[in-house]
Structure 1
Amino acid sequence: MAGSELGERTIDESPPEVVSSDDVSIDVETDVLIAGGGGTGLVAALAAAERTDGTITVLEKSDRLGGNTSLSTGMIPAAGTRLQREAGIEETPADMARDILEKNDYQADEAMVEHLCAESKHLIHWLIDEWDITLNLVDDFRYPRHSTYRMHAPAGRNGENLIAELGERIESTPNIELLRNTPVRKLVADGDAVVGAVAGETHTEVIGAKKVILATDGFAGNRRMVEQHCGEISEALYFGSDGNTGDGIRWGSALDAEIAYMDAYQGHATVVHGTGALSTYAVIMNGGFLVNEDGERFGNEAKGYSALAHDVVAQPGGIAYEIFDQRIYEKLEGEFDDFDEAVELGSYTSAPNIESLAETLGCDPEDTASTLEAYNEAVREGEPDSVGRLDSRHELEAPFYGTAVVGALFHTQGGLEVDEHARVRKTDGTPVGNLYAGGGTAAGISGHGPGGYLSGNGLTTALGFGRLAGRHAGAAIEGTDVS
């Protein structure tokens, strides 16, 4: 994502409004109203359309679909899929759940993690078989702490391509209507049940609905909320969608919804300084590493790009330097749209030796060379290196490549608690009537802080909860079994 497309933070935290149905007049009615046209909202719409002939209305506040899903790699983790079996990989949902829970020290809701992992293979098969979505198993690299290959990626390993296909399916489904530039302003409630919303940009309408799904994402774009809940990353570059202003979470709170894990977030350690492009973490997972301006390693890159983001922010000037070689460059070129975009923007510098690369980048040449030699020696000996890294390493050889990177905030992981059908829960444990949530609006599965984020957790809750919410909402309208 180019720097000109980076999200902008708002400082607006006006009180969320939930108005009584007694105080408004319904202008138009729909069956399922979905607030947000990102991955959660689009998947929810398709799932609902399969369960009801009623009208599903998707309202997107901006002029483009996608939200944070379009800014991601689009890689969806899943366990027990036929794509894995065809590749000779036998994995159970319990294996995937264990990886997620071990990454966050079992701080996440174990039952919900297990539920989403059990549903993950059905999500993948459904997207491929029912909606002809392009997904392929990624079997050439693994993100940190993934015990096997489980990422299912769209073309170009780019979330924009996933969103484009989902958008096409939305447009071709007769009972789904999609309205862009139509932000939801307020929810409408009858007692403690949601019965619609007030929406519109310059002219608002009151839309009555039997079911409402909040797919408005998290609050990473709301400076005040970030400062309140995730203060350690509040000054970092914001790399997410500018629509993530916490609307759904604040509406839920006004309806006495339970809120959890508000300190959790996903950071990213390798956003290119200057161009604003994302240097895919595949650079690191194929053997690259980071140094600071003194040419020193400062964190174990294998702990993941989210946990490492804060370490990068803490370096002098908030800048680190990514070092890799031609083998990695050639392996990633043409495989990752993010990498190709970074190349096109002139993000990477090449040099015949490490000293000249370091001098050009701005890190100490002599110490960077010593760090490289120590890294290569650890690889050759099969021993942990100076930061304790043992995984995903490869001896680096000239010619070398590199770039200056900064740590960034991508999206938040805390929000409204939901049940197994993605229905929003009140503080007493009962569901808020007719209300669902997913993606960044719902409480995630990463525990607390940035370190519990396992790559793919965001899309697990975005698309997983989206499908669960849509299925249940559509079935409830028709009075049929959700199974």
Structure 2
Amino acid sequence: MTILASEGVSFPITLPIVIIGSGACGLTAALAAKDAGAEVLVLERDPVPSGSTALSSGLIPAAGTRFQTSVKVEDTPAIFAEDIQAKAGGDAEQAIVDCVTENAGPCLEWLADRHDLEWVVLDDFLYPGHSRYRMHAVPEKTGSALIGRLITAAQTAGVDIMTDALVTALYAESNTARICGLQITRPDGTKEDIGCEALILACNGYGGNAEMIRKYIPEMAGADYFGHAGNQGDAVIWGHELSAATHHLSACQGHGSVATPHGILITWALMMEGGIQVNLAGERFSNEHQGYSEQAVDVLKQPEGVAWNIFDERLHYLGMAFEDYQNAVLQDAVRKADSLEDLAAVTGLPLDALGKSIAETAGGSTDRFGRNFAATKPLEPPYRAVKVTGTLFHTQGGLRINDDARVLNEDASPLPNLFAGGGAACGVSGPRINGYLSGNGLLTAVTLGRIAGQRAAELVAGHSLKLVMGGGRRSTLG
């Protein structure tokens, strides 16, 4: 990845807006720009858009939506912002926190009204750190379904998506850092140049770049990576070359509940509603309610870097509402036991220690880890168990932006025509893994994506298309 001087370069085609990445951020940005009347091209390195969005649980937190009102949930952006800062220890940038919490609800309602995305509110359990039921999902409750619906919306809106298009360089004016175009490399090694009036970086973070993880997030250097391998830190690398500011590069989202060796996300709702995690000695080792992100670190500290999720039939039926969990059942990741003795046998865990750990769920006071079981039912047979490990999902630090999603220079002034959202931009989790509030990733993806698309369209308004796109390889999607 590199920045090339644009002086003397003639582009065969120039488009008003180009977006790098077709995950939730990129597709939302494209829809917003298209709605604003701008011509837009989305570049995707893979044959089919998916990205980290498809690997996520697909849950987007938003406050004050009509979808919440329909299930009698009272919430406001201000309450949401307080929850974000409480989890981040007050270290998230307040202007961006206010921006995303105020815009999340309108964004989801716009996607519903304008682009036919259907939302349901998960109102039978609270995710860690949230004081209100505000997790919104498409009916399937998976990230793959979310990205599928966004792709359909983009196709219907006439958004051009060029696949198999890996961006390997940006062209910028040497004296202003204005982005004038980019270079893409095809799978066969051929290169193409495309000009642009504005560029939106929606290419996520650097979770797939082991060197950057070792440098910025050393505590997760040994973790399995559950995100998209293409998240190589392109935005940060380009930003550094452009003298853009970066922020909170030590931040990330982990997850302490991915079935191993199956690689399937097991919903944290099981822990929030009464489940526990034990290590290979059959002993609990943490407060499972602190948050699934920091729980990744605690799980990785255990022998062999694994733990067992222990729950019961009641929670099994709760899990079955999630397609990921259904897939885990189909792949025999979820083991059933009719008694404590059976549970010890199917997991290989010590009977006595396992029995003591399960007995703790009947306690009505705060335990030694700070968890209070008074609000949840004790675990009882028949039991269920899943062997899990801790993983890295995505990074949360990135390019510093303002509330227009404009990338900022090191002196806090905006670069001329560069925007960023989602994992390419610094999020709202502060500088630490325990600052991640459930859903922060997709929250900044869709809200900042929409803002970036709108503001980029405003920036290029009145600019004429220099050449009509023709020839070339367009999207393979339609």
Interval containing the TM-score (normalised by the shorter chain):
over 0.9
- Give 1:284 shift: 1.1
Residue 120 of structure 1 corresponds to: 104
Other structure's SS at 2:136 match: strand
Q: Note the 1:446-457 alignment, pairs <5 A.
A: 446-457=429-440
How far residue 433 of structure 1 moved from its aligned partner, in angstroms, is 1.2
Gaps of at least 5 residues in structure 1 are 1-15
Question: 333, 343, 351: which is aligned to 1:347?
Answer: 333
Q: Does 1:468 align with 2:468?
A: no
Alignment map for 1:392-471 (pairs within 5 Å) = 393-471=376-454
Superposed displacement of residue 374, structure 1? 2.3
Rounded Cα–Cα distance in structure 2 between residues aligned with 1:302 and 1:344: 27
Aligned-pair CA distance for 1:360? 2.1
**Cα distance in 1 between the residues matched to 2:105 and 2:261:** 39
1:151 counterpart residue number? 135
What is the deviation of 1:355? Answer: 2.9
Question: Which of residues 333, 338, 343 in structure 1 aligns to 2:324?
Answer: 338
Q: How many angstroms apart in 2 are the aligned matches of 1:93 and 1:226?
A: 32
Scaled by the length of structure 2, the TM-score of the pair is 0.94
Match of 1:197 among 179, 182, 185: 182
Q: CA–CA distance in 1 between the matches of 2:385 and 2:200?
A: 44
Residue 56 in 1 paired to residue 40 in 2? yes
User: Which amino acid letter does the alignment assign opposite residue 35 of structure 1?
Assistant: I
* Superposition deviation, residue 112 in structure 1: 1.1
SS in 2 for 1:302: coil
- Are 1:387 and 2:369 matched, yes or no? yes
Of 391-400 and 302-311, the range deviating more from structure 2: 391-400
Alignment of 1:66-105 (within 5 A): 66-105=50-89
- Output one character per residue of 1:230-279: Cα deviation in whole Å (capped at 9) or x when no partner: 11111011111111100111111111110000000100001112211111
Matched length:
458
Question: Equivalents in 2 of 1:127, 1:75: separation in Å?
Answer: 14
1:280 alignment partner in structure 2: 267
How far apart, CA to CA, are the structure 1 residues paired with 2:171 and 2:342? 63
The correspondence of residues 282-297 of structure 1 with structure 2, limited to 5 A, is 282-297=269-284
Aligned to 1:21: 6
For 1:129 and 1:282, locate their aligned partners in 2 and report how far apart those are by CA, in whole Å.
29
**Does structure 2 conserve the Cα–Cα contact (< 8 Å) formed by 1:36 and 1:215?**
yes
Is the CA contact (8 Å cut-off) linking 1:28 and 1:205 kept in structure 2?
no
Are 2:28 and 1:43 aligned? yes
Distance apart, 1:95 and its partner CA: 0.1
**2:270–2:318: 8 Å Cα contact kept in structure 1?**
no
Q: Deviations over 1:86-106 (max 9, x none)?
A: 222221111000000001110
C-alpha distance in structure 2 between counterparts of 1:82 and 1:112, whole Å: 23
After the TM superposition, which residues 238-317 of structure 1 pair with which residues of structure 2 at under 5 Å, given as runs?
238-317=225-304
Q: Give 2:83's aligned amino acid.
A: D
Which deviations, in whole Å up to 9, do the C-alpha atoms of 1:361-397 show, x marking residues without a partner? 1222111101111222x1xxx3113422126632111
Separation in structure 2 between the aligned mates of residue 32 and residue 75 of structure 1, nearest angstrom: 28
Matches of 2:48 and 2:292 in 1, distance apart? 27
Q: Take 2:218 and 2:269, find their aligned partners in 1: how far apart are those partners?
A: 28
Match of residue 5 from structure 1:
none
- Displacement of 1:82: 1.1
- Which stretch of the first structure deviates more once superposed, 75-84 or 216-225? 75-84
**3-state SS, counterpart of residue 157 of structure 1:** coil
Measured in 1, the distance between the counterparts of 2:39 and 2:318 equals 46
User: Is this contact kept in 2: 1:24–1:206, CA < 8 A?
Assistant: no
Residue 373 of structure 1: which of 359, 364, 367 is its match? 359
Structure 1 contact 221–243 (Cα < 8 Å) conserved: yes
Contact 2:88 2:434 in 1 (8 A): yes
**Partner amino acid for 1:41?**
G
Which residue does the alignment assign to 1:8? none
One-letter amino acid of the counterpart of residue 369, structure 2: V
TM-aligned CA deviation for residue 66 of structure 1: 2.4
Question: Structure 1: how far apart are the matches of 2:385 and 2:61?
Answer: 29
Query: The residue matched to 2:265 in structure 1 has which SS?
Result: coil
Residues 296-349 of structure 1: per-residue CA shift (max 9 Å, x gap): 11010101100111000000111111100011112221x101101111111011
Mapped contact 1:439–1:461 kept (Cα < 8 A):
yes
Where 2:140 maps in the other structure, the secondary structure is helix
Tell me the secondary structure at the aligned position of residue 33 of structure 1.
Answer: strand
Deviation at 1:479, TM superposition (A): 5.5
CA RMSD in angstroms comes to 1.3
Give the corresponding residue for 1:235. Answer: 222
How far is 1:285 from its partner? Answer: 1.7
Equivalent pair of 1:194/1:432 in contact (CA under 8 Å): no
Distance 2:230 2:379 in 1: 40
Which consecutive segments of 4 or more residues in structure 1 shift more than 3 A? none
Query: Gaps spanning 5+ residues in structure 2: where?
Result: 464-478
Q: C-alpha separation between the residues in 1 aligned to 2:462 and 2:430? A: 35
Contact 2:361 2:377 in 1 (8 A): no
